Structure 1
Amino acid sequence: MSSFIPGLELSRAFYAQVVRPIVADVPHSAALIGAGSEVLAFDTERSTDHDWGPRVVVFVAGHRAERVRRAVGEHLPEAFRGYRTTVTGERHGVQVSDPREWFTERLGFDPLGEVSVLDWLSTPWQRLAEVTSGEVFHDGLEVLERARAALRWYPPDLERYVLAGQWRRLAQQEAFPGRCGEVGDDLGSALVTAELARDLMRLVVLTRRRYPPYAKWLGSAFARLPGTAELGDALSAAVAATGWRRREEHLGVVYRRVAALHNRMGVAPALEGSLRPYHRRPFQVIDAGRFADALGGAITDARVRALPPVGSIDQFGDCVDLLTDPRRCRAVTRAVLDL
C-alpha cells in the first residue's frame, strides 16, 4: 500500500493512464461522480477500508456498453499506484453506463431533458451534490457538462421555496430551548439546540448556493465555506453550553449573522435582523417565520406559489432508506406536494 492519495487525484490519473487507452476508440465521456466521499473531496486514509480505490464512470451509448465492459475487464491491471482496482469483491472500479440510464437510476430523472418541479424537490441534496461535484475527465459525448450545468443550482423561485422551507423549520422550534429549560428539561433543551444548529448549518450552506451533504459531511462542508469560522464557534458553544440562557445567547449570534447573509442574497425584501421576544414569553428568537413569509411572497411562478409550505424532500423526510431510493423519493414528494 502506498501513502494515501486523495481519491479524486488517484482516479484522474487512473483514467488518463489506464482507462482512456482501453476505451480510446469508442466515443465516450468519463468522470468521477456519484457516491463516495472522494467525489466531495472528504476522503481520508480511513476511507480506503471499503468501497474506495481508483474509480471512474465511463459513459457510452447504450449499444456499446457491453463491448466496453468486456474490454475493460480484459485489460484492467490488478492494481494502480499501489491500490487494487477491485473496489468491492469482484467488482472493479470502472463502471460503464449509458448517460441517460445512469442519471435516471441515480436521480430518478434525466437532467438532459426538462427538469420539472417534481424532479428538483424530490432529489435529495446529497444526490445533487454527488452529480455536480467530483470531476469530468473527458466529455466526448458532450453530455456530462450539460447535465451538471442543468443541476448546478435551483431555478430562482425554487431557490426561494427551498430557503423558505429551511427558515420555516427554524421557526417551528426556535423558542423550544428556552421553554424546555424553563420547565427543568435541560436535556430536552440541549437536544432542540442541536437540531436548530443542524438546520442553521444547512441554511448557511444553502445561502451560499451549495447543496448540504448528508450528516457525516455536513460539518466538514460548513467549515470549508469562507467566513463561517465565527458561526462555527457560536454553534459549537451553543451545543456545548449548560443552561438554556447560554444556549439562547450563542444561537442569537448565529441568527443575526444568518439574517445578514439572507439579506445579502437579495432573493426577497431585506428584513430587520435583531432578536425579539417570542410573543410575551422571555425567549429571544429571530422570528424565522418572517423570512419564510418574505421568501414566499417573492415567488412569482404560480405553480411554486401553490405548493404546500414544506420544502424539498430533505426538509420533510429524514430516513436513509427513503433518501437513497429515487423511486420512493418521487412517490413521497408527489404525495406530500400534491404534484
Structure 2
Amino acid sequence: MMSGFVPGLELSRAYYADVVAPLVADIPHSAALIGPGSEVLAFDTQRSADHDWGPRVLLFVPPGAAAEAEAAVEAGLPSFFRGYPTVFAQHGQVRHGVRVAELGGWLSSRLGFDPRGPITPLDWLSAPWQALAEVTCGEVFHDGLEELNRVRAALRWYPDDLWRYVLACQWQRIGQEESFPGRCAEVGDELGSATLGGRLVREVMRLALLQRRRYPPLRQVARQRAGSPAGRRRARRGPGGGAGRPHLAGSGGGSQRRLRAAGRRAQQDRAHRPRRDVGAALP
C-alpha cells in the first residue's frame, strides 16, 4: 500500500531544488521545511497525504522583498510535481505550498519571541514544546540570509540550568498523580485506575523525551514516535544524532499494567489488614 509513498521532507527538498530555487534565484532568501506538519518531524505516512500535505517550501526573504518573491513563485509553479498537485488544501485554504515570510515575524508568530536576539528564561519557559520542535526539526534547504541555521542552533535545546528546571517540573507533575491509579484500584475503580494510569504513562513518556533532549511533540505524534520503528530509532539518538540509551516511551502498556497490578495489591493488603479499634486509642 505504501510502496510508492514519498516522505514529505524528501518531496519538498526536491521541489525546492528543481522548481522553487530557479524561480527566486535573483532574490536573497533562505528556504526550509519547518513549522507545522508531521513531515517536519519525519513521521508522515501515506495516510498523512489526505490532509494539509503536499510539496511545501517556506521561503524567508529580507524586509520589503515578499511581494517580489510571491509574484515570481506564482508565475512559475507547475500544476503538478512528481505526480502530486502543487495546489492543495492547507488548514482550510486551497493554495500552493510555497509560503513567503520575513524570518523575524514568522519566528515571533510561532514562538512568541524573536530568537535572533537574546533569549531570556521567560522566553524559553513560555514557548510550547511543539513550537520548539517545529522550528528545530525539519530541514534547511538553503540559508542565503545566514540567519536560519544560527537560530535553529540556538534553539536546539535548553540551557543546562533551565533543562534541569524543566525536568524537575515534569517530575513534580508525575509525583502529584503517582498514587492516584492505586487509590482508584483500592476502591474498585478499575476504569479510573486505567485512565489515570494512561495519563501518568503519557507524562513519563514526556519525561523520557526531555531526558534525551528532545522536545515532546503533540500527543498523536508522541504515540507514533513511541510505537514506530523510526520512533524507536530516534529515541536512541541524542540531539546531535549520537547514540544514547533507549528511552521509556515504548513501555507504556507494561507501565500501565504494573500500575494497575500495584493498585490491586494495595486493595488486597487493605482487605487483610487488621481493623484498628479507634475507640481504644482515645484517652
Relative to the length of structure 1, the TM-score reads 0.69
Structure 2 unaligned residues grouped into runs of 5+? 237-244, 271-283
Identity of aligned residues (%): 57
Q: Is the 8 A contact 1:30 1:57 kept in 2?
A: yes
Q: Is the 8 A contact 1:181 1:243 kept in 2?
A: no
Partner of 2:180: 176
CA, structure 1 residues 243+12, in 2 after alignment: closer, same or farther (shift >3 Å)? closer
Equivalent residue letter for 2:175: A
> 2:139 aligned with 1:135, yes or no?
yes
Partner of 1:79: 80
Q: Is the 8 A contact 2:208 2:249 kept in 1?
A: no
Partner of 2:260: 244
Q: Is the 8 A contact 2:183 2:263 kept in 1?
A: no
Partner of 1:43: 44
Q: How far has the Cα of 1:242 moved from its partner?
A: 9.0
CA, structure 1 residues 175+33, in 2 after alignment: closer, same or farther (shift >3 Å)? same
Q: How far has the Cα of 1:48 moved from its partner?
A: 0.7
Equivalent residue letter for 1:164: A
Partner of 1:302: none
Q: Is the 8 A contact 1:54 1:93 kept in 2?
A: yes
Equivalent residue letter for 2:255: A
CA, structure 1 residues 143+87, in 2 after alignment: closer, same or farther (shift >3 Å)? farther
Post-superposition Cα deviations, 1:250-280, rounded to whole Å, max 9, x if no partner, equal: xxxxxxxxxxxxxxxxxxxxxxxxxxx9xxx
Q: Is the 8 A contact 2:186 2:264 kept in 1?
A: no
Partner of 2:31: 30
Q: How far has the Cα of 1:193 moved from its partner?
A: 0.7
Q: Is the 8 A contact 1:237 1:247 kept in 2?
A: no
Q: How far has the Cα of 1:248 moved from its partner?
A: 8.4
- Is the partner of 2:201 in helix, strand or coil? helix
Q: After TM superposition, where is structure 1 displaced by more than 4 Å over at least 4 residues in a row?
A: 246-249
Post-superposition Cα deviations, 1:302-332, rounded to whole Å, max 9, x if no partner, equal: xxxxxxxxxxxxxxxxxxxxxxxxxxxxxxx
> 2:204 aligned with 1:200, yes or no?
yes
Post-superposition Cα deviations, 1:170-222, rounded to whole Å, max 9, x if no partner, equal: 11011111111111111111111111100000000000000000100112334
d(CA) in 1 for partners of 2:161, 2:99: 36
Q: Is the 8 A contact 1:193 1:247 kept in 2?
A: no
What is the root-mean-square deviation in Å for CA atoms of aligned residues? Answer: 2.2
- In the alignment, which of 98, 105, 126 is matched to residue 94 of structure 1? 98
- In the alignment, which of 218, 227, 232 is matched to residue 222 of structure 2? 218
Q: How far has the Cα of 1:247 moved from its partner?
A: 6.6
Post-superposition Cα deviations, 1:80-101, rounded to whole Å, max 9, x if no partner, equal: 0000111325411000111111
Equivalent residue letter for 1:180: C
- Is the partner of 1:95 in helix, strand or coil? strand
5 Å-filtered alignment, 1:298-337, equals none
Partner of 2:276: none
5 Å-filtered alignment, 1:46-57, equals 46-57=47-58
Compare CA radii of gyration and give the structure with the larger one: 2
Structure 1 unaligned residues grouped into runs of 5+? 250-276, 283-339
CA, structure 1 residues 194+108, in 2 after alignment: closer, same or farther (shift >3 Å)? same
Equivalent residue letter for 1:99: L
Q: How many residues align?
A: 249
CA, structure 1 residues 183+9, in 2 after alignment: closer, same or farther (shift >3 Å)? same
Relative to the length of structure 2, the TM-score reads 0.83
d(CA) in 2 for partners of 1:247, 1:92: 54
d(CA) in 2 for partners of 1:78, 1:193: 49
d(CA) in 2 for partners of 1:71, 1:9: 23
Partner of 2:121: 117
5 Å-filtered alignment, 1:59-74, equals 59-74=60-75
d(CA) in 2 for partners of 1:181, 1:32: 47
> 2:197 aligned with 1:190, yes or no?
no
CA, structure 1 residues 232+112, in 2 after alignment: closer, same or farther (shift >3 Å)? closer
Q: Is the 8 A contact 2:40 2:138 kept in 1?
A: yes
- Is the partner of 2:42 in helix, strand or coil? coil
Equivalent residue letter for 2:150: R
Q: Is the 8 A contact 2:185 2:264 kept in 1?
A: no
d(CA) in 1 for partners of 2:136, 2:264: 36
d(CA) in 2 for partners of 1:106, 1:138: 20
